[in-house]
Structures are given as C-alpha cells and as structure tokens.
Structure 1
Amino acid sequence: MKFLVDAQLPVQLARFLESTGYDTIHTKDLPNKNATSDIEINAVSIRHERIVITKDSDFLNSFLTIKEPFKLLLVTTGNINNLELQALFAANLQSLVELFNSHSYIEMSSDSIIVHL
C-alpha cells in the first residue's frame, strides 16, 4: 500500500507512515513541493496507485465527480497537533489498510472512521 500525504498535513505524518513500512511521500517530496497542483497530485496518485491523505475537500469533489485520486483518505479532525494526529494514525492504521483493500474513499475524524461506498 502506498500513500501520498497532501500539503495540509505535516511531513512528520508521511515519515511516520514510512517508519511503519508503507511507501509514503509528502507533497514536499514532489518536484514542485507544496506548490504541486491538485491535478498533478491526482495524476501521481493514479500513476503510482497512491492513496491521497488530505484535509482538502477539493479532493473529495474530484473523487466524487471524476474518480480521482486513485483512493482517498479525508482527514476531518479539525485542528489537532502533530502528536495527536500521529497517535490517531497509529491507533487506526491497521483498520485503514484493511478497509482500503476493498474501499476507495474513507473519512477519518478524531473519533470515527467512515467508509463511503
């Protein structure tokens, strides 16, 4: 499973996911870094079958209308600090991975995971 973490989320999240064994990049790792357009992020996601992890609802609109990116994890926690975000991912990562084996759009808040069909 491969991930692409969007600019609205910290690089530390991408590094955490890498440390757990997942092929993960952050938009800062791309040639245009955090200035990478959503269209280009979608293209990278599709080309490399990466799940986009974002807080940006523009990706939701794109996913619902044109089925891009490849797969989507929309983080709807509001503002939480990096340690809380990492703890949230640590607590839910195995469930997310299992769910992404059969689903393409998942939403994660501070207290729930919602699978959208």
Structure 2
Amino acid sequence: DGNRTTDAEIIRIADRDERTVVTKDHDFLDGHLLNNVPQRLLLVTTGNIRNDDLIALIEAVEPLLVEAFEHSAFVEVNRGAVIGH
C-alpha cells in the first residue's frame, strides 16, 4: 500500500519475514523498546539528509551494520557512527 501501509503492518511483515525495519520514526523505537516489535530495528538519526546521501552513507557503513546486528537487535546509524544498543 506504499505510503498508506500502517506501522503495524510494516512490523508484521518485517517480523514474519525476519527483516529489519529501517526508519527515522521514533514510534518504531518505542515499540521495539517496550514490546520488542519490530524484532530488528535500524534507526537513522542523521537529521535532514538527501536520499542520495543517505544511500551513500548506508553503503559506506554496511559492514559495520552487519556486524552490529550480529550482537544487537536495535542499531542506530548517524553521520558519524553505527551504534548497537
């Protein structure tokens, strides 16, 4: 449903398919911390960023993200760091 997909549906699909929700929305963080849903969460805390710059950032830190998810179900990425929580 594109932009009309509810948070609950995104979480359901991600958890069912063992995927990671990638978001800037702190509502997903609250759900993860309180109820462990979604099961895996990548929180982007870069502030305003162009899509091309965000894609380049994610590509540049991909090995760090993979490593962080080996130890944490909640990972944060910003312009200067990848943090496993």
TM-score above 0.5, yes or no: yes
The alignment yields a C-alpha RMSD, in angstroms, of 0.9
Structure 1 stretches of at least 4 aligned residues deviating more than 4 Å after TM superposition: none
Query: For 1:2-34, what per-residue CA distance to the aligned partner results, in whole angstroms no more than 9, with x for missing partners?
Result: xxxxxxxxxxxxxxxxxxxxxxxxxxxxxx211
Alignment-mate amino acid for residue 55 of structure 2: Q
Alignment of 1:38-57 (within 5 A): 38-57=7-26
| Identity level (%) | 45
Query: For 1:71-94, what per-residue CA distance to the aligned partner results, in whole angstroms no more than 9, with x for missing partners?
Result: 000000011112211111111001
In the superposition, the TM-score normalised over structure 1's length comes to 0.69
Tell me which residue corresponds to 1:75.
44
Q: Does 1:66 align with 2:35?
A: yes
Q: Distance in 1 between matches of 2:39 and 2:18?
A: 6
Tell me which residue corresponds to 1:86.
55
Alignment-mate amino acid for residue 93 of structure 1: E
| Runs of 5+ unmatched residues, structure 1 | 1-31
- Structure richer in strand, relative to its length: 1
- Structure richer in helix, relative to its length: 2
Tell me which residue corresponds to 2:66.
97
In the superposition, the TM-score normalised over structure 2's length comes to 0.94
Question: Number of paired residues?
Answer: 85
| Runs of 5+ unmatched residues, structure 2 | none
Q: Distance in 1 between matches of 2:67 and 2:52?
A: 23
